[in-house]
Structure 1
Amino acid sequence: MKEANPSLTESELAHLGNGEVGYIRKMKSDDVSRCFPEAPDIDPSLDLWALFGADGTPILLTDNRSSTFFKAAEDELKTVTLH
């Protein structure tokens, strides 16, 4: 017997994990203005870390990786790291 393949709409997929999952990503200063338009100019040699909601909403930008995990825990988000 063939199993049915459940399908998600684009909107359902975009909101999958929303409010439950966050992802942490290392960023270069060049990427900051795209994701965090309100951020000031940042030294290009600085290592930055960002926390995003599952839907890509920016939550936190920091130079301290541990801070992203603390913020995620505070917001009760399970975290994944993107490379």
Structure 2
Amino acid sequence: MLLREANARLTQSELAHLGTGEVGYIRKMRFDEISRCFPEAPEVDPRLDLWALFGADGTPILLTDNRSSTFYKAAEDELQTVSLH
């Protein structure tokens, strides 16, 4: 039985939704990524360090210049967080 579970494969759709509603990821944003990920974001100073919180499926949740705010929002939404570099 363990061998079968080890060989189990996720479909692309299952993989895309893995962790949805349970996991979020935090990462620093480059200025040129902002409009693509957050199209409604106001114009920002390109020298500012910006941080974003995304759902496990890549859904943008929060964009801020305060890294701590991303953790606060994740906790508020009951998401376990991971950081991406």
Q: Which runs of 4+ in 1 moved over 2 A?
A: none
- Across the aligned residues of Structure 1 and Structure 2, the Cα RMSD in angstroms comes to 1.4
Unmatched 5+ residue regions in structure 2?
none
Q: State the Cα distance separating 1:10 from its structure 2 match.
A: 0.4
Q: State the Cα distance separating 1:57 from its structure 2 match.
A: 0.1
Structure richer in helix, relative to its length: 2
Q: Deviations over 1:21-45 (max 9, x none)?
A: 0000100111100100001111110
| TM-score normalised over the length of structure 1 | 0.95
Question: Is 2:25 aligned against 1:23?
Answer: yes
Segment of structure 1 superposing worse, 15-24 or 34-43? 34-43
Q: Deviations over 1:36-78 (max 9, x none)?
A: 0001111110000000000000000000000000000000000
Q: Percent identity?
A: 79
Unmatched 5+ residue regions in structure 1?
none
| TM-score normalised over the length of structure 2 | 0.93
- How many pairs are equivalent? 83
